[in-house]
Amino acid sequence: MGNIDVQAFLEELYAQGQANDAHVQERGQKMLNLEPETAQFLHILLRSTRRKHILEIGTSNGYSTTWLAWAASEHGGHVVSIDRDPHKHELADANLRQAGLRELVDLKCGDATEIIANLSGPLDCVFFDADRYSAPAQVGLLLPKLAPDVFLLADNVISHPDEITGYLKTLDELPQFEKLVIPIGKGLSVAYRSA
């Protein structure tokens, strides 16, 4: 991972994202980074449970991806992260290089549902942070690719309750999963199935 101070890098990257989002008008140009406390919670969760095969849907400029890859780096894991925006894909590439974590991340550029259809498993953690309307179909495609012991995580439960309803309903149809919503940041849905 090199000698970089990843925590300091992440603080700077978050500040850059906030500054960008304050001045750009178009939503597609905003970075919409995860709240730092949510990102840190994911980092602790993934590190402590030694997640090795992590999928992130919604890379943006790589802020949350860096947190996930940093967690994975502790125990030989890796991350696949998807975003359809080529400019953000390039930013994430540069940011992960700067963080010294690029080799742990497979960045994929394109529509998440299409990419997921061709992805191989097993995955032991999926983090949904993109187009919430597509998430139910993505869960369906991912089910056969999930490890027996797996987390399904999704942000924006409190901030976008209407948009995330379909995803939460889909989770309700999966009785093997224990679920809760943590009121951290914009509201994090945590679903866990044990082996």
Residues lying near ligand SAM in the complex (CB under 6 A) are found at 32-34, 58, 60, 63-64, 82-85, 88, 111-112, 129-131, 134
Which residue number, 130 or 152, has a Cβ lying nearer to ligand SAM?
A: 130
Cα distance between residue 78 and residue 149, in whole Å:
16
Which residue number, 18 or 176, has a Cβ lying nearer to ligand SAM?
A: 18
Which residue number, 33 or 189, has a Cβ lying nearer to ligand SAM?
A: 33
Shortest distance (Å) from residue 148 CB to ligand SAM: 26
Shortest distance (Å) from residue 175 CB to ligand SAM: 27
Beta bridge partners of 181: 189
Sequence-distant (6+) residues with CB within 8 A of 79 are 54, 55, 56, 65, 68, 69, 72, 104, 105, 106
**Residue pointed to by tokens 């379909």:** 166
Which residue number, 34 or 107, has a Cβ lying nearer to ligand SAM?
A: 34
Radius of gyration of the chain (CA): 15
Cα distance between residue 122 and residue 154, in whole Å:
19
Which residue number, 133 or 148, has a Cβ lying nearer to ligand SAM?
A: 133
Shortest distance (Å) from residue 195 CB to ligand SAM: 27
Beta bridge partners of 178: 192
Shortest distance (Å) from residue 176 CB to ligand SAM: 26
**Residue 77 DSSP one-character state:** -
Distance from chain centroid for Cα 111: 15
Cβ-count burial of 111 within 10 angstroms (0-12 exposed, 13-18 middle, 19+ buried)? middle
Shortest distance (Å) from residue 28 CB to ligand SAM: 7
Shortest distance (Å) from residue 63 CB to ligand SAM: 3
Which residue number, 87 or 176, has a Cβ lying nearer to ligand SAM?
A: 87
